[in-house]
Amino acid sequence: MIGQTTRKSWTVVCFKRWWTQPAKFFLPLLLLCIALACSLNGRAQSPDTFLLPQIVVSDAFAPAAAQWKADSIPSLSWISAAQQLQWQGPVQIRSNGPGLLATASLRGAGPSHTPVVWEDLNLQSPMNGVFDLNLLPMWPGDRLLIEYGGQSAGLSSGAMSGSIRMTPGAIGANRNGGFLSLGAGSFDRTDARAAMRYGGNLWQATTRGAWLQARNNFPYRNITQIGSAEERQVHARQQQADLQQFLQWKMTGRDRLEVSVWALQAKREIPPSMTAVPDDSHQSDAGIRSSLRWTHSVDSSRQWRHRLAFLDEYIDFFQKGTTDTNHSRSWLGSSVFSAQLRNGYFWKAGVNLQKQSANTSSYTDTSLLYQQWRTAAHVYVEKNGRRSVLGLAARQEWVQDQRAPFTASVLWRWKPVYPWVFKLFGSRNFTLPTFNDRFWNQLGNPDLKPEKGYSADLTLSRKIQFGEIEAGFQNMLLDDWILWQPGADGLFRPKNLRQVWSRGVFVQTRGQHNIGKWNLVWNVQGQYNVVTNTRVYDNNIQVLHRQLPYTPRFSASITTSVQRAGYSLMYLHQITGSRYTTADESQQLPAFSTGTLVCSMALGKQWHVEFRLENCWNTAYQVVAFRPMPGRNWHAGVAYRF
C-alpha cells in the first residue's frame, strides 16, 4: 500500500486557525515579504535601471502541437481565469455557476486531463486531479496560454490533451508603481484590488492583493416548474481573498533568485439545483503555493536552474450537518541543465522529486496521512535547421506503489516556402489514479491502472496581411479511462471502464491593423470535435460510439477590440454547441452563445474607469444541467495608478 504516517493534529489546528483569521495571517505574511525584499539590497539606486533577463529554461520539457494566447482584457477589476476562458472560448469551461466550481476540458478530455500551470507549477489536486479556475484571479499583465497536445513528457501525469498556463506579469515595464481599484456590480457584488511594484538596481518585488464578495442572487426561469416560473438564486454568496508576492534578486552577474508566494482563501455557499430544495451546504477553500528558483548561468550558452516548491491546500465541505475535511500537500524539487550547442542543437536534461500527501474524513483510515513519492528523469533535444525544427522529449517516471509508463513526444516544424509553416506533433501520455480513486472509504480501488494514450496533431499556418491563420487536425486515443459508476448496490465506484477516441479539426486566426490613430485587434477560433467511446469494459454497450457527456461537437469564439491611447473597447462572443448530459445521448442541453462588452477609459495619467456588460444579449443557458447561469449583468470600477 501507499506510504502512510500518523497525521499530526496540531498541524491541522494551526492551519485552520490561520485561515479562519485572515487578517492575522495575511498582514504578517505581507510585512515579512516586504521586509525580506527591502533587506536584500539597501544600496539600490534608480528603479528604472532594473532589468533582469527572461529565464531561458522552463520546467516544461515537451513542445506543444499548437498554442492559443489570450487577449489581454483591459480591466483592473477582479476577473477569474474561468471567466476569461469562458468569454474567449478556446477551452470548454464546466461551471456550476458564478464563483462556483469551474473546471476546464480540452478536446473532449476530462478536467483531470487538462492541467492548470502557474509559475511552472501544476495545480492539479493530488486528491481529485482537478483545479478550480474560479480560484485563479487574472491581473493586468498576466499571460494566459493554451497549449494543445499531450504533454506527459513535460508535465507528468494528467497532461493528456494539453495544458493551461498562467504566467504572472509585472506592473509596468521595469518601473516602480502600482494601482488601487474598487468595483461594484450586479447581484450585490463588490471587489477591491491593490498592487505595487518596487525595487532597485539588483532586486524587484511585486505585491498584490484582492478581495471579492457577491450575493449572486440573480433571477432565472426554473424550467422544471410548470410555466417556467421566474425565481431568484438563493444560498449563493461568495467571499474570496487573494494575496500574491513575487521577488526577483540578481545576486551576481550569473545568478538570479526568484521567490513566488500565493495565498488564497474562499468561502462559497452551494446553491440548490432547479430540482432541489435549498439547504445550508457550503465550501471553504484555503491554500498556499510557493516557489523558490535559483538560476545560474555558466556562460552565455549553458545554464543551471534549481527549484523548490511547496503547495498546501485545505477544503472543508459542509452538508447536512456534517463536515468533510480535505487536506493535501505537495513538495517538489527539480534541477535542470540546458545548453545551446553549435550547428543549431539545443538540449536540456533534468530530474524531479515530488512528495504528495493527503487525508480526508472520507478515506479508509482517517488517522493516517496517505503519501506518495514520485521521481522522474527527462530530456529534451532540439535541432534548428534553415527551414525546419525537430524536437524530441522523453520522460521516465518512478511512482511509489504504482507503475508509470515511459512517455515521449516529437515535434517537427517545417517551412517549405514563405509564409507557410507545417507542423507534425505526436506524443504518448498517461494519467495516474488520484488519491480519491484509490483510497475513498469502502469505494476506492487501490488496484486501478493508469490511464494511457496517444495523441497526434497536424497543423498548417500561414502569415496573412495584418495577421496569421492556422488550421489543423487532432487525433487522441485514451485507454483505461477511470470513471466512477454505480454498482448493483447503487454506490459509485471507480473502474478502468472505457477507451475514448477524440478527433477533430480547428482553425484560428488573429491579427491587428492600424486605422488612423486606432488599433484594431481580432482573434477568431473554432473547433469541431467528435469524442466517443470506442470500447467498454463493463458490458455497457449503450454508450458505445456515443459523444461524451458535456462535450460539445462545435464551439467558437470571436474577440475584437479597438484601442487608442487611454481608450479601449472590447467585445467577446462565445458560441457553444449542444451537449449531451447522459452517456447514452438520451438527454441534452441546447446550444447557446453569449457576449461580453468591456470598456476602459483613462482620465488623465492616473485615473481609469471601466465598465463591463456580461451576457449582454441576456441569454438563458446552462453549462451544467439544472444549474442556471445569470442573465445580463454589469460591473463598473475605478482605479488609481501611481
Structural domain spans, the chain: 4-41+56-641
Confidence of residue 72 (pLDDT cuts 50, 70, 90): confident
Is 43 or 365 the better-scoring residue by pLDDT?
A: 365
Q: Which three cell numbers stand for residue 26?
A: 495575511
Q: Is the pLDDT of residue 186 over 50?
A: yes
Q: Is the pLDDT of residue 48 over 50?
A: no
pLDDT for 5 equals: 41
The string of pLDDT tens digits covering residues 560-581 is 999 998 899 999 999 999 999 9
Average pLDDT estimate for 602-613: 93
For residue 343, report the phi and psi dihedrals to the nearest 5 degrees: 60, 25
Q: Is the pLDDT of residue 78 over 70?
A: yes
Q: Which residues 6+ apart lie within 8 Å of 31 measured at CB?
A: none
CA distance 37 to 413: 43
CA distance 136 to 138: 7
Q: Which of 534, 549, 438 is nearest to 494 (CA)?
A: 438
* Count of positions (residues) in the chain: 642
Element (H, E) at 83: helix 81-88
Q: Which range has the worst mean pLDDT, 9-13, 112-116, 165-169, 535-539?
A: 9-13
Number of H helices, E strands in the chain: 5, 38
Q: Which range has the worst mean pLDDT, 151-155, 319-323, 392-396, 614-618?
A: 319-323
Confidence of residue 480 (pLDDT cuts 50, 70, 90): very high
Q: Is the pLDDT of residue 548 over 80?
A: yes
CA distance 611 to 599: 5
Confidence of residue 170 (pLDDT cuts 50, 70, 90): low
Confidence of residue 244 (pLDDT cuts 50, 70, 90): very high
CA distance 246 to 43: 20
Q: Is the pLDDT of residue 325 over 70?
A: yes
pLDDT for 89 equals: 75
Is 510 or 11 the better-scoring residue by pLDDT?
A: 510
> What count of other Cβ atoms lies within 10 Å of the Cβ of residue 171?
20
10 Å CB burial of residue 602 (0-12, 13-18, 19+) is middle
State percent of the chain over pLDDT 90: 73
Q: Is the pLDDT of residue 204 over 50?
A: yes
Confidence of residue 2 (pLDDT cuts 50, 70, 90): very low
Confidence of residue 62 (pLDDT cuts 50, 70, 90): low
pTM value? 0.89
Q: Is the pLDDT of residue 304 over 90?
A: yes
Is 278 or 214 the better-scoring residue by pLDDT?
A: 214
pLDDT for 22 equals: 40
What is the 3 state secondary structure string of 240-303? EEEEEEEEEEECCCCEEEEEEEEEEEEEEECCCCCCCCCCCCEEEEEEEEEEEEEEEEEECCEE
CA distance 81 to 91: 11
For residue 492, report the phi and psi dihedrals to the nearest 5 degrees: -85, 135
pLDDT for 33 equals: 43
Q: Which range has the worst mean pLDDT, 212-216, 358-362, 634-638?
A: 358-362
Average pLDDT estimate for 105-130: 93
pLDDT for 70 equals: 84
CA distance 258 to 307: 9
384 three-state secondary structure: strand
The string of pLDDT tens digits covering residues 512-525 is 999 988 999 999 99
Average pLDDT estimate for 541-545: 93
- Is-contact 178 197, C-beta < 8 A? yes
pLDDT for 485 equals: 87
Average pLDDT estimate for 234-251: 95
pLDDT for 590 equals: 96
CA distance 4 to 369: 5
Average per-residue pLDDT in the chain?
88
Q: Is the pLDDT of residue 15 over 70?
A: no
Report how far Cα 38 is from the mean position of its chain's Cα atoms.
32
Residue matched to cell numbers 545551446: 340
pLDDT for 438 equals: 94
Q: Is the pLDDT of residue 18 over 90?
A: no
pLDDT for 23 equals: 40
pLDDT for 14 equals: 39
The string of pLDDT tens digits covering residues 463-475 is 998 999 999 999 9
**Beta strands 627-628; 622-624: pairing state:** antiparallel
CA distance 328 to 312: 6
Class of domain 4-41+56-641: mainly beta
- Is-contact 404 432, C-beta < 8 A? yes
> What count of other Cβ atoms lies within 10 Å of the Cβ of residue 237?
18
pLDDT for 251 equals: 92
Most confident of 90-94, 139-143, 236-240: 236-240
642 three-state secondary structure: coil
Confidence of residue 171 (pLDDT cuts 50, 70, 90): low
State percent of the chain over pLDDT 70: 90
CA distance 383 to 391: 6
Q: How far is CA 592 from CA 556, 598, 623, 629, in A?
A: 11, 20, 9, 12
